[in-house]
Every structure is written in structure tokens, then in C-alpha cells.
Amino acid sequence: MSAKDPAPFADPAGTWNRRFAEDGYLFGTAPNAWLAEHAGVWRPGQRVLCVADGEGRNSVWLARRGLHVDAFDISDVGVAKARRLAEEQGVAVDFAVSDCDAYAWRPAAYDGVAAIFVQFADPALRARMFSNVVGCLKPGGTLVLQGYTPKQLEYRTGGPPYVSHLYTEPMLREAFASLDVVELREYEAELAEGSGHCGRSALIGLVARRR
Ligand SMILES: C[S@@+](CC[C@H](N)C(=O)[O-])C[C@H]1O[C@@H](n2cnc3c(N)ncnc32)[C@H](O)[C@@H]1O
């Protein structure tokens, strides 16, 4: 996501379809590192939802770990590539093409939710999405979330160019006040997630459990 795109949030399906129409995988095929580091919170056989899963790197990796995975994304081009990745890697993921607001969120259905770089959401959409994320977790279910902090606007190595879309620790604590925070950390790292997230990055990671 970058300021180069004219009104990048005006036509999210079209914008992301164009990005994902390029050869290769924009964010690579390896899982996000924060997710890989914390996926041990879920046991094989448990059910996890991947929110805005893009080209499937995270959902496919979780399915390879023996989880039952549902995933959705607004981009049909991204989901088609995700389906191919799952097939190539011999795993099943229940993919859907859907906008975040239109998704058929199932109440208290999931042992886990992975929300990795879902910062397309402005504050109003984010409030609705986070409420759905909490609501779809079973009691005891765990959210693993990764995003960028406002400092990322200095690095410009990925993520939206708008401060209102970025996360801080107090903001996530307040947004997920109904969950027990297991870990919440702002940190910096060199990302090498395809060409989409590449270079020094100002990150935030959250792991939080539904009571
Ligand atoms: C930065 S990418 C991250 C993709 C994936 N989570 C990953 O880490 O590889 C953001 C994703 O959000 C999706 N997206 C954007 N707006 C959306 C919306 N309103 N509803 C659902 N997905 C959306 C895009 O298609 C894109 O796949």
C-alpha cells in the first residue's frame, strides 16, 4: 500500500486485484514472523480464521501445521492465488472472497484469529472489524495480530501512508479491553516479506485471549 496509488482505499478490491495480478507473491509465501513465533498458542485440530488473508501465505502455513483454517479477503485475484498455493502445498483451507463488513462472521466459532497487516481499515471500519474479531473467538480463543506503528511513516517500507490506520500500544489495549493481553510489543525489525513489506519496519504485535 502506498501513497503512489490514487485514493488507495476508494476501490480496495480493484486496488488489491491489480497488485496481486503481478507475477509472484507480493508478500512472499512464508508466514509472517510474528504469526510464526506465536502460532504455538493453537493446537493441531483447532479452528482458526485468517482475516484479509491476501495471497494465502499465512492460512496455508497454518493449515500445514494441522489447523482447520477459514480465510477471507476482498481480492478475488488474491484468493485465487491462495487457493493455488494451498493446492500446491497439499492442504485444505476454506477460502472466501469477501469484504470485511460483508463477511459471515460466526459468533464464538474460532480457537484463534490471525489478523496480519489488516491496516486497510480506517478507524470506523477498524472498530467494526475488531468487534467482529472478538465476537468470533470462543472463550479461551486467541487473537494474533501484527501491524505497523506511526513510526513506520518514516520508513515507508510497507503499510498504509495514513497515521489514522496505524496502531499504538494504548490504542490496541483499549480496542481489545475485553480480551486478556498475553503479549503486546512495539518493536523494530528488518522485514523481508516479498517486495510488499521489505526493509526496516516499525512494528507492533499483539497476542490476546478471550475471557
Ligand atoms: C497488506 S495486505 C495483507 C495480506 C495478508 N494478511 C498477509 O499478511 O499476507 C492487506 C489485505 O487486505 C485486503 N483487504 C483490503 N481491504 C479489505 C476489506 N475491506 N475487506 C477484506 N479484505 C480487505 C487486501 O486485499 C489485502 O489482501
Is 79 touching ligand 1 by the criterion CB < 6 Å?
no
pLDDT recorded at residue 7: 56
The residue-averaged pLDDT of 120-129 equals 97
Instruction: Give, in degrees to the nearest 5, the angle at Cα 109 between 38 and 112.
Output: 5
pLDDT recorded at residue 63: 98
DSSP conformation class of 88: H
Is 74 touching ligand 1 by the criterion CB < 6 Å?
yes
CA–CA separation, 54 and 67 (whole Å): 18
CB-CB contact of 77 with 13 (8 Å):
no
C-alpha cell read off for 36: 510464526
Q: What is the 27 CA–ligand 1 centroid distance (Å)?
A: 11
C-alpha cell read off for 75: 481480492
Helix (H, G, I), strand (E, B) or coil at 66: coil
Q: Which of 1, 117, 148, 162 to mutate to test the pocket of ligand 1 (most atoms within 8 A of CB)?
A: 117
C-alpha cell read off for 64: 500445514
Q: What is the 52 CA–ligand 1 centroid distance (Å)?
A: 4
CA–CA separation, 167 and 57 (whole Å): 23
Q: How confident is the model at residue 10 (pLDDT cuts 50, 70, 90)?
A: confident
Q: What is the 178 CA–ligand 1 centroid distance (Å)?
A: 25
CA–CA separation, 73 and 55 (whole Å): 9
pLDDT recorded at residue 93: 98
- Tens of pLDDT, residue by residue over 141-197, are 999 999 999 999 999 999 999 999 999 999 999 999 999 999 999 999 999 899 899
CA–CA separation, 142 and 39 (whole Å): 10
Is 193 touching ligand 1 by the criterion CB < 6 Å?
no
Q: What is the 43 CA–ligand 1 centroid distance (Å)?
A: 25
The secondary element (H helix, E strand) that includes residue 150 is none
Q: How confident is the model at residue 9 (pLDDT cuts 50, 70, 90)?
A: confident
- Tens of pLDDT, residue by residue over 71-83, are 999 999 999 999 9
Q: How confident is the model at residue 59 (pLDDT cuts 50, 70, 90)?
A: very high
Ligand 1 atom nearest to CA at 16:
25
